Structure 1
Amino acid sequence: MSKLVNYPVALPTASLPEDTDPVSVARDFTPRLYNLASQHFIPDALWRDLFALTGTLRTFHNASSVSSTWAETTKTRKVHSFVSDPEEARVVRLPQGSAWVEARYSFECGERPETRCTAILNLVRDQGDGEWKIWVLRTVLEGLKGMPDVEFLEPEKVRDEGKLSNGVNGHGEEEEFECVVIGGGLAGLSTGGRLKALGVRYLVLDKNERVGDNWKLRYASARLHTNREYGHLPFDRTFGPEYEEYLSKDDLAKGYTEWVKKFNINIWQGTSVESGTWDESRQLWTLNLRQGEDECSITTSFVVLAGGAGGQVPIFPPPYQDEEVFEGTTMHSAEYTEPSKWKGKHGVVVGTANTAHDVAADMVDTELASVTIIQRSRTYVLPAEHYFKIVTLNYNAQKPTHEADRGTLTSPFAVAELMSCATLSAMASKEPERFDALERVGFKVERYGNIQDHIVNRLGGHYMDVGASKKIAEGLIKVKSDALPVRYVKDGLVFSDGTHLKADLIVFATGFVGNMRRQVDQIFGTKVGDQVGDFWGLDEEGEIKGAFKPVGHPAIWLHGGTIGQGRYYSRFIALQIKARLLRTALPLYEKTP
């Protein structure tokens, strides 16, 4: 199992008494926050700051670097007014025995821009002196003082249900904006909504003809493999109990459409950005747009490229020989919709991540004569019900989504890795037969995988099991994992071990280019691309490269990722932009301790 960050990070080992009072622990620790020193941290402590004190996303490791950076940034930002929140103090216990007190505090920064922030502390007992010390510190920018709440937007009544008053599905009258968001999926819509909440003159551009087409146009069986409460857009519960627990692509498209209407989001559909240029003297972007046969240009101070972490460019394996002799059909999963025209014929899927399993299950349900999945490497299989048990602890009908996001999406990735691995591995160990059954039919399964690595480094490659694993174990989906294809023949594929596999339809579920840098190059040119740099994967501190934060160019942000990341981190992008429009940009702390 790969490790996300090469720093000494471990779950706490000291147990906590059952009668530990987290409210008292949190309250008594409050005075120390004004003058934290290295003795207030355990040696391998971590601090993750989300724009509160560093103006960006930073993770600091070990007591010395954390305490020295804390002292410098709290002084510079004139931090004051720490207040413990007794309702949020709690004891956290993991199945393998780790335990700590989680304490939450509000505080403010008095230096411009004046801000409201949250500090979340994971406190453990020092086994030597018995003192409460910080294992993990998180600080989160909540809002700009005197500005509207980025988590609230009043719904608007729209007279004409067919067309919104702001120019959705067509051009509006404005040609100059303070911020333009390129991409109308969840990340782009969330950013647009946050900008509107803050009073920014914004526009969302989307190449699709209708809101939600980024889901609507996917393969027929596409759906979320996470629970319904995780799928919301900001400000409300987009998907009520009338929706399925695992939202289908049509559910998502409907929910997005209704959300855009409810909040009257300014979006131009059917609009592609052909090119863009930056005018250094005017500090303005010019974006050249196309809508069908029409062309126009608009200007904006800031751009958010919300292309999605999955990218749009399909990846294929190295080509097999003799493709021209194959009499069947090949396609990437990006082109795949449903397999009914191949009923009674032979289907092959190359790849073993989520989409591959979905496609193979489709083929079985459509009664193809045979269905085979080609496995190129061992695959992490995460039972959806295991993940469901964890995710519903935070994402449920009782907890506001933004509070669930704050609790879940602010942890250092290395800590999230430790916690998820400990919990999910404990669950997997209790039902070995589930995985043994896959191994017996030739599927090479990783049962104790690292979901965080798949999310923040690999952009997928795992399978969240919503039923296809059972079809594999029962032989309804065959597995070829002992050799790879080398050449086509007219009725299928020949493998490196000489075996022949019949195929009428071959679907390459082999992923997409995930680096949004490619889109920057295409729209703005390689000079801007060089300034912006790469997108996704972790840097040396354990933060995602290029995402959500200032990059090498002063007027562009890259935004994408999981649904939770797209929704929650949009708030920070909007706050950064609003602060710059107020001429009080969040000051960047760029020192390396």
Structure 2
Amino acid sequence: MTDTLQETTQGAPAPAASTEAAATVAAEWLAAFADALERGSAPDLEVLFVEDASWRDFMAFTWDFSHKIGRDELVPRLLELAKAADARGFTLNTDQPPFEFNGEVAAFFDFTTRDRLDRGHVRLSTATGRPLATVFQSQVDGLQGHPERIRHHRPIGKVHGTVPNRTRWSADRRKELAFEDSDPAVLVLGAGHNGLSIAARLQALDVPTLVIDREARVGDTWRKRYASLALHSSVYGDHLPYLPLPPTWTEHTPKDKFADFLESYVTLLDLNVWTSTTFVNAHYDEVAQRWTVRVRREDGSIRELHPRHFVVAAGLYGNPRIPAIKGLETFTGVYTHSDAFQDGDRFPGKTALVIGAGVSGHEIAHDLAEHGTDVTMLQRSSTYVVDFPTYHKIWAGLFHEDTTVPPDYADQMAYALPNALSDELQKKLVKLAAKEDQELLDALVARGFKLDWGADGGGIYGSIAVGKDSYHINIGAAQLIAEGKIGLKQGVELVEIKDGRTGVFSDGSEMQLDLIVFATGYDWLWASIRPTLGTAAARIDKAYGRAADGEYANTWRRSAQPGLWFGTGFIRMARYYSKFMALQIKAIESGIEPMDPSGDPAWAASAGFTPHDRADSDAATPALG
């Protein structure tokens, strides 16, 4: 299955001339699949899959994420759930025809389950002469009877004809935004790409939603970061729901441009956002199944809101962390956390120490070096490094200028593998990237830089999965380190400041300093929020990371606490996963699903889990708090 795994991330669709043959293969397989499923025939279903095939389901059959690896596990579970959910109507998707993809056929198909509209994806090998599925994926795409307000169902805007006491659109928007005589069904904490993606999805499903953010403007969390910051992903993967970036957009997005886009996104999609609003605390009423959430508005007043759902979408990290250093308060130069650092051009001719060798540490050191600062990076442990062209060559195969697969379908392909198989794939790709970058990596090691390969060998994605940011996508800083143009101190700590400007290190060495930048990370956000939620927080062991079932713990799915949701991740993840959170919340608000299903044995049996029993199965994965 090695080749199949690599092709999930790499490769490009074959020319259009091959699509007719691909469609024939896909139609043959899907017809046999639908027939075997309808008859409940395990033998006939088994012969349609390779032995090590995988299946990942995103709420098409149950209201949760699940997966199976291996034909012997996959087939009986698929038969069981298809019968329970009344799966039917399997037809090839007409918006994205089948195509050849690195020696296999990639196809999408539509079907329904009892209350859902669903879409599937399959990868078919024809190596044995008949099409066999290597990768199978299914996902909810909508709710029957509850269409998104897009395209043919879009809002009217202005009703024609005579409307007594007609109100104006702008006045209606102000009233909707104020929530003066009503409460939102959903309150979202955080107006970054995660929170706004969720809000946009819910808005399209007619679920009253309010987003709160402590910053004065949407996007300020990006505007206030260091001036040289830009997105490491490219434009092809950076679209948010419903609003693709225009073809004139820069390939790589500067942070201020992205901040302005987020602010425009709110305006263009009519999202309800309160800025300069600070979350104070919240209490969940188990009987009423509602929250009481207290927030502080810009004028200092306290407003109480009573949503049924509270979504924490403010990211993984909270307050900046600066280590305790003896005499730091006596430093007569400038010291700052990377969170507050701005421009490298303020320190030409000065001597700077950047503590930390992750993304921020590298980019700030790079910025300072470009502006004539004598800068040294202090690398306290080890860092995973991958060169920018290598990163995009290996990890962005579905998201590039010449792709013919729209983002909605590319996302489905990218997330088709169960996390366990994706983890193994990442290890292979990390090794492949290391060969591409061998010259650069050797030069870094020669300078004394300590490399690692990410958490459990998984590179960037392995590290992100466990909440670590000790990685760097190189856009120039690594070369400067390798050439000695950025100094390096490795494996030591800054332990003391003496005589106003002298930094003393744990190995006894000293350095005269004008500037110290602490690129030393942040406290866990959940650690600071947990005390504000009272007893409701007790059920949450962690947010993000992996749960016992191998999916993300309490994130983008029901958490162990009814009505409490978590959404976090990079842009593409937010775009994809926000759909499932929003549809599940809509199902609850529409009475399709209960608010708390844990007391229903039939529900728990059909879903294959009990939400309140999602324990941490990976001791190496840190809990948030």
Which of 491, 494, 509 matches 2:504?
494
State the secondary structure of the residue aligned to 1:517.
helix
Cα gap change, 1:412 to 1:151, in 2 (>3 Å):
farther
**CA offsets 1:62-120 (integer angstroms, 9 cap, x no match):** 33322222121111100001113475433433xxxxx54333221111x2xx1111122
Deviation at 1:465, TM superposition (A): 1.2
Match of 2:313 among 306, 318, 322: 306
TM-score when normalising by structure 1: 0.86
Please state whether the residue corresponding to 1:177 is helix, strand or coil. Answer: coil
Is residue 450 of structure 1 aligned with residue 454 of structure 2?
no
User: How far apart are the structure 1 equivalents of 2:387 and 2:321?
Assistant: 26
Q: Relative to 1, partners in 2 of residues 1:431 and 1:194: Cα closer, same or farther, differing over 3 Å?
A: closer
Task: Confirm whether residue 407 of structure 1 aligns to residue 413 of structure 2.
Answer: yes
Indicate whether 1:22 and 2:22 are aligned.
yes
Q: Are residues 1:63 and 2:71 paired? A: yes
- Aligned pairs (5 A) from 1:261-276: 261-276=267-282
Mapped contact 1:168–1:266 kept (Cα < 8 A)? no
Among candidates 435, 439, 444, match of residue 445 of structure 2 = 439
Structure 1 residues 349 and 521, CA, compared in 2 at 3 Å: closer, same or farther?
A: same
1:374 is paired with a residue of what secondary structure? Answer: strand
SS in 1 for 2:250: coil
Q: Deviation of residue 314 (structure 1)? A: 2.6
Identify the residue that residue 6 of structure 1 maps to in structure 2: none
Change (3 A) 1:125 1:486: farther
Change (3 A) 1:534 1:263: same
Give the direction of change, closer, same or farther, for the CA distance of 1:289–1:167 in structure 2 (3 Å limit): farther
Q: Distance in 1 between matches of 2:4 and 2:253?
A: 37
Aligned residue among 537, 540, 550 for 1:542: 550
Instruction: Name 2:580's counterpart in structure 1.
Output: 572
Structure 1 residues 221-240: aligned runs within 5 Å: 221-237=228-244, 239-240=245-246
Alpha-carbon spacing, 1:426–1:403, altered in 2? closer, same or farther (3 Å)? same
Cα contact 1:89–1:102 (8 A) shared by 2: yes
Q: Greater shift after overlay, 216-225 or 415-424?
A: 415-424
SS of corresponding position for 2:420: helix
Question: Cα distance 1:522–1:352, how it changes in 2: closer, same or farther (>3 A)?
Answer: same
The alignment's TM-score, normalised by the length of structure 2, stands at 0.82
Partner of 1:32: 33
For residue 469 of structure 1, what is the amino acid of its counterpart? A
- 1:521 matched residue in structure 2: 530
- Which residue matches 2:354? 349
Structure 1's 189 and 167: CA in aligned 2 closer, same or farther, altered over 3 A? Answer: farther
Is contact 2:223–2:255 with CA below 8 Å preserved after alignment? yes
Aligned-partner residue type, residue 22 of structure 1: A
- Structure 2 CA distance, aligned partners of 1:563 and 1:528? 28
Deviations 1:476-502 (A, max 9, x none): 211112534343333333333332233
- One-letter code aligned to 1:342: F
1:290 aligns with 2:260: no
1: CA distance, partners of 2:504 / 2:59: 54
Q: Does 1:76 align with 2:84?
A: yes
**Post-superposition shift, 1:132?**
4.2
Opposite residue 483 of structure 1, the aligned amino acid is V
Distance 1:13 1:55, change over 3 A: closer
Whether 2:195 is the aligned partner of 1:200: answer no
Identity of aligned residues (%): 27
- Secondary structure, in 3 states, of the residue corresponding to 1:176? coil
User: Which residue identity lines up with residue 533 of structure 1 in the other structure?
Assistant: D
Matched AA of 2:466: N
Instruction: Return the alpha-carbon distance in structure 2 between the equivalents of residues 342 and 391 of structure 1.
Output: 36
- The question of whether the paired residues in 2 share the 8 Å contact of 1:166 and 1:172 is answered with no
Larger CA deviation: 142-151 vs 412-421:
412-421
**Closer, same or farther: CA 508–88 of 1 in aligned 2, 3 Å:** farther
Give the whole-Å Cα distance in 2 for the aligned partners of 1:406 and 1:426. 24
1:4 equivalent in structure 2: none
SS at match of 2:106: strand
Report the CA distance between 1:172 and its aligned residue.
4.3
> What is the aligned partner in structure 1 of residue 110 from structure 2?
106
Is the CA contact (8 Å cut-off) linking 1:167 and 1:267 kept in structure 2? no
Q: Tell me which amino acid in the other structure corresponds to 2:443.
A: A
Partner of 1:581: 589
- Contact kept in structure 1, 2:55 and 2:417, CA below 8 Å: no
Q: How many Å apart are 1:195 and its aligned residue?
A: 0.9
Aligned equivalents of 2:451, 2:235: Cα separation in 1: 27
2:212 partner letter? L
Q: Which residue of 1 aligns with 2:120?
A: 119
SS at match of 1:518: helix
Deviation at 1:384, TM superposition (A): 1.6
Compared CA separation, residues 590 and 530, structure 1 to 2 (3 A): farther
Alignment of 1:233-248 (within 5 A): 233-237=240-244, 239-248=245-254
Map of 1:361 onto structure 2? 366
Cα root mean square deviation, aligned: 3.3
SS of alignment partner, residue 74 of structure 1: helix
Find the aligned partners of 2:33 and 2:297 in 1 and give their Cα distance: 58
Q: Which residue matches 2:161?
A: none
Q: CA separation in 2, counterparts of 1:322 and 1:262?
A: 50
Aligned equivalents of 2:391, 2:175: Cα separation in 1: 37
Asked if the contact 1:192/1:203 (under 8 Å) is kept, the reply is yes
For residue 476 of structure 1, what is the amino acid of its counterpart? K
Q: Hey, what's the Cα distance between the residues in 2 that align with 1:493 and 1:290? A: 41
CA offsets 1:305-327 (integer angstroms, 9 cap, x no match): 11113x2233445x344445544
Matched, 1:383 2:384: no
- Do the aligned residues in 2 keep the contact of 1:169 with 1:210 (CA within 8 Å)? no
The letter of the residue matching 2:81 is T
Higher relative contact order at CA 8 Å, sep ≥6: structure 1 or structure 2?
1
**2:427 aligned with 1:426:** no
- When residues 488 and 255 of structure 1 are mapped into structure 2, their CA distance, relative to the original with a 3 A threshold, is same
279-288 or 544-553, larger mean C-alpha shift: 279-288
- Looking at structure 2, the residues matched to 192 and 180 of structure 1 have their Cα atoms a distance apart, in angstroms, of 9
2:264 to 258, 261, 268: 258
Is the 2:426–2:458 Cα contact (8 Å) retained in structure 1? no
Deviations 1:428-464 (A, max 9, x none): 4245222222222222234786232022223422111
2:284 alignment partner in structure 1: 278
Match of 1:177 among 181, 184, 192: 184
Q: Distance in 1 between matches of 2:58 and 2:6?
A: 28
